[in-house]
């Protein structure tokens, strides 16, 4: 297959390169008859312009990078990233962009990734990151490469991001447990470096405080988002002298571990332990009792992020207006919390 160039097509169609180029970019100023002839030759030879040559002159790749968190468990193990990236690529496809999924952190060192970015391999990036002091965010800011972020840092110095109100979301989840009569409510935290971890913990504390329930440090577990950590921490909770009657988990993945720990002790959900999760993973219904959880609009987060990024890429002005979008969460009540407790043994 001696790859044809635009020059070859031009010759074969009996026109100049310019005309072929015009056809390729569907510019109006070309006679229909000529256009058809050129199109025919293009299709007949399966010609496609070389991306590199095009990029060199336009200085655009029409592709964006999608950078995911580095936690291996989260990466493929946690479907929320699949959902987010689904939203991103959906928008990209519509707008004629391609999105390259980039597990920049897992399989490539930062320096190489930075090199790709500086090498202009992407017009922009969607960064999924709730990390505080994220090095990618810092790099992107410094170099001025367009990006939008899913998640954000407290300083809020990201130009554009989409996120949910994690404090409020968690508060509502815990309040739900309180409204059912629970007073010993355990909390499973995510990785400390993630902003949403402290935010969700904050929501937990606020809910307790509003209800006049003192915070018991024994009931707070430092997880890492993984099922394994949910398992280990729950075992610890259940060994407590006064074990919790309810548990709020910072994500659904950890709940899988919680369930196993509870069952291993011969106890039951929700009778012995009521559970509220976070994320609302579609898959979970297959694995454990239908989970009451805080629904996060993952696909929508991806959609909005991609839209904001592409809008920035397409604008002609150099200055970009900051945009911080907060999407709503929903408390989805199912079966993992049971009903209101009659007698409350505090």
Residues forming contacts to DNA in the complex (CB under 7 A) are 3, 5-7, 14-22, 24-25, 28-31, 33-35, 49-50, 53-54, 56-59
Site for a copy of itself in 146-205 (CB under 8 A): none
Tokens of 264: 């291993």
Interface mask toward a copy of itself for 286-305; x: CB under 8 A: xx------------------
First to last CA, the chain: 77
Stretch in the footprint of a copy of itself (CB under 8 A) among 36-44, 72-80, 177-185, 240-248: 72-80
For a copy of itself (CB under 8 A), the number of binding residues is 54
> In the chain, which ranges are E strands?
63-67, 98-102, 124-128, 147-150, 160-164, 185-189, 220-222, 246-249, 274-279, 292-295, 323-327, 330-332
Interface mask toward a copy of itself for 8-37; x: CB under 8 A: ------------------------------
- Residue 295 interaction partner, one of a copy of itself, DNA, none, beta carbon < 5-8 Å per kind: none
Is residue 117 within 8 Å of 125, Cβ to Cβ? yes
Options 39, 106, 132, 202; binder of a copy of itself; rule CB under 8 A = 106
Options 18, 109, 179, 315; binder of a copy of itself; rule CB under 8 A = 109
Tokens of 58: 């336009």
- Give CA 190 to chain center in angstroms: 15
Considering the rule CB under 8 A, would residue 98 count as an interface residue with a copy of itself? yes
- Residue 144 interaction partner, one of a copy of itself, DNA, none, beta carbon < 5-8 Å per kind: a copy of itself
- Name the residue nearer to DNA (CB basis): 38 or 91: 38
Distance from C-alpha of 258 to C-alpha of 264, rounded to nearest angstrom: 10
Strand-strand pairing, 292-295 and 330-332: antiparallel
CB of 109 to DNA, least distance (A): 20
Cβ atoms within 10 Å of 109's Cβ, excluding its own: 10
DSSP 194: B
CB of 55 to DNA, least distance (A): 8
């Amino acid at each position: 297959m001696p790859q044809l160039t635009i020059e070859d097509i031009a010759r074969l169609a009996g026109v100049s390169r310019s005309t072929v180029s015009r056809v390729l970019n569907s510019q109006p100023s070309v006679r229909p008859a000529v256009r058809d002839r050129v199109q025919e030759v293009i299709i007949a030879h399966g010609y496609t312009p070389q991306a590199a040559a095009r990029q060199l002159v336009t200085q655009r790749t029409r592709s964006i990078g999608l950078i995911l968190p580095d936690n291996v468990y989260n990466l493929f193990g946690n479907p929320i990233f699949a959902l987010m990236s689904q939203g991103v690529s959906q928008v990209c496809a519509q707008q004629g962009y391609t999105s390259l999924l980039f597990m920049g952190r897992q399989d490539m060192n930062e320096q190489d990734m930075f090199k790709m970015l500086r090498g202009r391999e992407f017009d922009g990036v969607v960064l999924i990151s709730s990390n505080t002091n994220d090095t990618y965010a810092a790099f992107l800011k410094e170099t001025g490469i367009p990006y939008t972020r899913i998640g954000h840092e407290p300083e809020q110095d990201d130009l554009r991001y989409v996120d949910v109100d994690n404090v409020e979301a968690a508060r509502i989840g815990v309040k739900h447990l309180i409204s059912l009569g629970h007073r010993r409510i355990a909390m499973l935290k995510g990785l400390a470096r993630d902003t949403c971890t402290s935010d969700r913990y904050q929501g937990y504390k606020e809910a307790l405080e509003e209800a006049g329930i003192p915070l018991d440090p024994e009931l707070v577990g430092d997880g890492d988002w993984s099922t394994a950590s949910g398992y280990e921490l729950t075992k610890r909770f259940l060994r407590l002298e006064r074990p919790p009657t309810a548990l709020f988990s910072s994500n659904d993945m950890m709940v899988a571990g919680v369930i196993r720990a509870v069952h291993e002790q011969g106890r039951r959900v929700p009778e012995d332990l009521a559970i509220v999760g976070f994320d609302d993973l579609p898959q979970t219904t297959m694995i454990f009792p239908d989970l009451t959880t805080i629904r996060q609009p993952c696909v929508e987060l991806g959609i909005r992020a991609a839209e904001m990024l592409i809008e920035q890429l397409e604008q002609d002005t150099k200055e970009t207006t900051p945009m911080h979008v907060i999407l709503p969460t929903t408390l989805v009540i199912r079966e993992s919390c049971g009903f209101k407790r009659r007698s409350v043994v505090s």
